[in-house]
A and B are shown apart, each in its own frame.
Chain A
Amino acid sequence: QVHLVQSGAEVREPGASVKISCKTSGYDFTGHYIHWVRRAPGQGLEWMGRTNPFDNFSYSVGEFQGRLTLTLDTSITTAYMELHRLTFDDTAVYYCARDAPPLIDWGQGTLVTVSP
């Protein structure tokens, strides 16, 4: 059975960085992209970027370019997302998801609160 288990809630001040882990199990880690999606309060789902565990190639889009770092540790089948230069607008629940496609399996979500 596939599982994606994320690290716990975080609180950060504006300008800081936050790193979230996504431990996967139950499938071939190198055979599926890992995507990162967030949902801010009162907003919809927002796609942030993806990483390919096969070749470790990752990218992000839009406002996340240059601010988002996606990494992997294949030895422990874990993906990481690090978001830099946080603002209040980054307060959200962050998800990792395995791509079949579609985004078939999701982590439980990690709440990041940006607060002074």
Chain B
Amino acid sequence: SYVVTQPPSVSTAPGETANITCGGDNIEFKAVHWYQQRPGQAPVVVISYTSDRPSGIPERVSGSSSGNTATLTISGVEAGDEADYFCQVWDPDADLPRVVFGGGTTLTVL
């Protein structure tokens, strides 16, 4: 089955840019969705279909993908961006089609 891999943690100073990666075989050909989850809250979609930003998500949040890596980029990082971030793809080729989550990346604002 399809596997996606994320770094466990990323640290960024306020105002700088955070890049959170999601690795998978030829992931550029898959729709990648990104979720932000703050402690005690349900996940929220921050990027859908690799680079689409839902309404209410600030423009400093963006997504891209190339080759075997999809990337969530947060520019001008703020304290409120501290959270866990998960990438997600759909694996239609498994014995049973399934949602696949990356292991998650904790973003720490220094």
Chain A interface (Cβ within 8 Å of chain B)?
35, 37, 39, 44-47, 50, 59, 61, 95, 97, 100-104, 106-109
Whether B90 lies near A103 (C-beta < 8 A) is no
- A45-B35, A47-B98, A61-B98 are known contacts. Are A106 and B42 too (CB-CB below 8 A)? yes
Q: Is B43 an interface residue, CB under 8 A from the partner?
A: yes
- Interface SS, B side: strand
Chain B residues with Cβ under 8 A from A50's Cβ?
99
Residues 86-110 of chain B: 1 if any A CB is under 8 Å from the residue's CB, otherwise 0?
Answer: 1010100010101111111000000
Total cross-chain contacts (CB, 8 A):
57
Taking A61-B96, A103-B45 as known contacts, 14 extra A-B pairs with beta carbons closer than 8 A to each other, sorted by chain A number, are: A37-B99, A45-B37, A45-B43, A45-B88, A47-B99, A61-B94, A101-B31, A101-B33, A102-B48, A103-B33, A103-B99, A104-B45, A107-B42, A109-B42
- A44, A50, A100, A107: which has the most chain B beta carbons within 10 Å? A44
Residue of B45, B101, B103, B104 near A47 (CB, 8 A) is B101
Nearest to A44 among chain B residues (CB) is B104
- A45-B35, A102-B33 are known contacts. Are A35 and B99 too (CB-CB below 8 A)? yes
* A/B interface sample: 22 pairs, CB < 8 A: A37-B43, A37-B101, A44-B101, A45-B35, A45-B86, A45-B88, A45-B101, A47-B98, A47-B100, A59-B96, A95-B42, A100-B48, A101-B31, A101-B33, A102-B45, A103-B33, A103-B43, A103-B45, A104-B45, A104-B48, A106-B42, A106-B44
